[in-house]
């Protein structure tokens, strides 16, 4: 057992921590188990999604003290960043997670104890509404207590800036620097000032959903197809009221819920994982859709910033679409509507992440719409929106992990608005006598058949983190010369900020922030990306391949061929 870890745990026994915490720490010390190592070998740090970890005692866990120290660091940061502002304010929201109101209360108390006004929601709310609240109330920051789609033992803490977007460098590291300056929990002001805490009620729900309604592109079309049967599930989370409310404001009248999954519960009793990327998470919704003869299935994750969908195929059975496919349909529909209604002026743009389908850029290019590729994390999409504000008009952005944003009044991915636009896209397909799969086939025939897949390799704890680091080091120092029989022609290393042409040896600078991401491009047009997750103990491998679709009836034949190609790549990499 590493003595440093034991010493860190001993500090919790000797410090001004509560009795219950000390008893649990002592249990860990007595057992000297892997749990002791995992609880104390490091401090929780900000990743692509902020602070996120397993709940429990220890410096690497979500608890009263790590949340309190982080919030004190945030307060110190805000006071330093805005030295002449005597009316600092922060908005706080939380999702359905266990200990949600506890961590929200700690955050509100610490902020108010530091003289900062707090706007907090009176009940759980979607993450995108928090982003909207920050902008609406003119706050300098925002906090959401959420662990997104992680398992039930997790909780988290996302921090937002005054533009309603998650913090990026240098602000995220500046907050952490302030946290690290706190040498003791005695430096944290835990006793709140209730006079500085203001509740937010349903009035903001109305304003937020009204804003979503205003950006609908085809109200007449919706009126014509308002009876489309939509099954929606919040998977026990925050979309339970806001998504149906927004859909109805759009004009869709036939929203079917699943009572068992409308129950707010951080244990997620009806699913193994509340992740709409997982087929099992939509199983109950699909069964309901079959029973009700519904047309469309949608499911949002616990904090309602991501959405997964299922649509009927040619055999009239429900099939799941992945994040790239849903993004493709949304981008194709929205950009076509902008073009057909003469809204394009030549100063519009879209944004995607580097691991998301290149098809989105092809679609934008076909309409002379500018596009930007950014690192993984919606905060980087928001950064481009901020940089282009007043110069160009943002239309929409997306990432393969089921997150999309239409319009710029929110600065994070938004499942509430996305559900509305997915339903509107579906109505557009119906109007043409097509299914969503038919629309995809049309797109693939025009631009090429893109198929993407994701494989995650989970490695938990300190030993897992070390193994993931070793894997990335190996790819960085010794990239494969060929993959699945095709030569590697280009390697992009975002940590080194370098793109290398393997044939010539020439290099180009990647004009993006440093990030531990490596991409391999092969001669046959395949793209393989590896990236350690910033919020979970895993390394993610993203695969993208491309083929030709000359006629719609060959859709499944080409899809199967591309799927086999991805399987060949996975096998060749030994995953």
d(CA 500, CA 490): 6
CB contact at 8 A, 525 and 564: no
Give the residue from 443, 140, 93 showing the smallest Cα distance to 238. 93
Q: How far apart are the first and last CA of the chain?
A: 31
Q: Up-side HSE of residue 44: CA atoms within 13 Å toward CB?
A: 32
Contact yes or no for 153/54 (Cβ under 8 A): yes
Q: How many helices (H) and strands (E) does the chain have?
A: 19, 23
Task: Determine contact, residues 337/369, Cβ cutoff 8 Å.
Answer: no
**Per-residue exposure over 147-162, b if at least 16 CB sit within 10 Å of its own CB, e if not:** bbbbebebbbbbbbbb
DSSP-based helix, strand, coil % in the chain, nearest 5: 40, 20, 35
Distance between CA atoms of residues 432 and 266, nearest Å? 41
**Site of tokens 């007595």:** 30
H-helix segments, 293-355: 323-340
Q: Which residues pair with 117 in a beta bridge?
A: 89
Q: Where are the strands (E) in 447-566, listed by range?
A: 449-458, 482-483, 486-493, 498-501, 507-509, 518-522, 527-532, 538-547
CA distances from 453 to 444, 446, 457 (A): 17, 21, 14
Query: Cβ(351)–Cβ(331) under 8 Å?
Result: no
Note the residue count of the chain: 575
Determine contact, residues 110/62, Cβ cutoff 8 Å: no
Compute the distance between CA of residue 101 and CA of residue 145 in angstroms, rounded to an integer.
8
558, containing H or E segment: helix 555-572
Contact partners, residue 517, CB within 8 Å, separation at least 6: 354, 355, 375, 376, 492, 493, 494, 495, 529, 530, 531
Contacts of 465 (CB under 8 A, 6+ apart): 459, 537
Instruction: Choose, from 107, 141, 148, 435, the residue flagged as catalytic.
Output: 148
Please confirm, yes or no, whether 148 is among the known catalytic residues. yes
Q: Report DSSP letters for 405-440, one per residue.
A: EESSSS-S--HHHHHHHHHHHHHHHHHTT--HHHHH
Residues belonging to the active site: 148
């Amino acid at each position: 057992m590493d003595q440093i870890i034991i010493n860190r745990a001993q500090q919790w026994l000797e410090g001004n921590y509560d009795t219950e915490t000390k008893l649990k720490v002592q249990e860990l010390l007595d057992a000297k188990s892997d749990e002791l190592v995992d609880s104390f070998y490091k401090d929780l740090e900000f990743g692509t999604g902020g602070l996120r970890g397993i709940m429990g005692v220890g410096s690497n866990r979500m608890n009263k003290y790590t949340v309190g120290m982080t919030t004190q660091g945030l307060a110190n940061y805000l006071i330093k960043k805005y030295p002449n502002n005597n009316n600092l304010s922060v908005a706080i929201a939380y999702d359905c997670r266990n200990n949600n109101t506890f961590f929200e209360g700690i955050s509100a108390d610490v902020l108010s104890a530091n003289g900062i006004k707090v706007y907090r929601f009176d009940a759980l709310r979607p993450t995108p509404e928090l982003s909207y609240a920050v902008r609406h109330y003119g706050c300098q920051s925002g906090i959401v207590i959420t662990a997104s789609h992680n398992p039930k033992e997790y909780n988290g803490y996302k921090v937002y800036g005054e533009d309603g977007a998650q913090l990026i460098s240098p602000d995220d590291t500046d907050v952490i620097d302030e946290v690290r300056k706190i040498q003791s929990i005695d430096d944290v002001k835990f006793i709140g000032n209730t006079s500085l805490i203001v509740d937010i009620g349903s009035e903001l729900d109305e304003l937020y959903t009204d804003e979503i309604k205003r950006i609908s592109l085809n109200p007449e079309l919706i009126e014509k197809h308002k009876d489309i049967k939509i099954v929606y599930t919040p998977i026990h989370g925050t979309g339970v009221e806001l998504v149906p409310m927004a859909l109805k404001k759009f004009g869709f009248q036939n929203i079917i819920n699943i009572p068992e999954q409308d129950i707010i519960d951080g244990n997620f009793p009806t699913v193994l994982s509340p992740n709409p990327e997982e087929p099992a998470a939509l199983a109950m919704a699909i069964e309901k859709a079959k029973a009700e003869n519904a047309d469309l299935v949608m499911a949002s994750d616990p904090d309602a910033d991501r959405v997964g969908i299922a649509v009927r195929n040619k055999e009239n059975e429900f099939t799941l679409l992945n994040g790239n496919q849903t993004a493709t349909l949304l981008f194709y529909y929205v950009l076509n509507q902008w073009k057909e209604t003469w809204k394009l002026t030549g100063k519009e743009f879209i944004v995607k992440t580097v691991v998301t389908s290149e098809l989105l850029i092809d679609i934008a290019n076909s309409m002379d719409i500018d596009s930007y590729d950014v690192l993984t994390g919606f905060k980087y999409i928001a950064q481009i929106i901020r940089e282009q504000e007043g110069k160009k008009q943002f239309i929409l952005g997306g990432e393969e992990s089921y997150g999309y944003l239409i319009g710029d009044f929110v600065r994070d991915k938004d499942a509430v608005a996305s559900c509305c636009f997915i339903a509107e896209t579906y109505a557009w397909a119906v109007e043409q006598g097509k299914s969503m799969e038919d629309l995809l086939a049309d797109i693939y025939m025009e631009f090429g058949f893109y198929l993407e897949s994701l494989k995650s390799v989970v490695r938990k704890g300190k030993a897992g983190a070390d193994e993931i680091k070793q894997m990335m080091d190996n790819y960085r120092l010794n990239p494969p010369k060929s993959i699945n029989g095709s030569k590697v022609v280009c390697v992009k290393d975002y940590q080194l900020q370098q793109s290398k042409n393997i044939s010539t040896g020439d290099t180009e600078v990647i004009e993006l922030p440093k990030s531990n991401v490596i991409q391999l491009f092969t001669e046959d047009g395949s793209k393989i990306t590896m990236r350690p997750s910033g919020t979970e103990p895993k390394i993610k491998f993203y695969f993208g391949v491309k083929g030709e679709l000359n006629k719609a009836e060959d859709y499944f034949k080409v899809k199967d061929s591309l799927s086999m190609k991805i399987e060949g790549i996975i096998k060749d990499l030994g995953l």
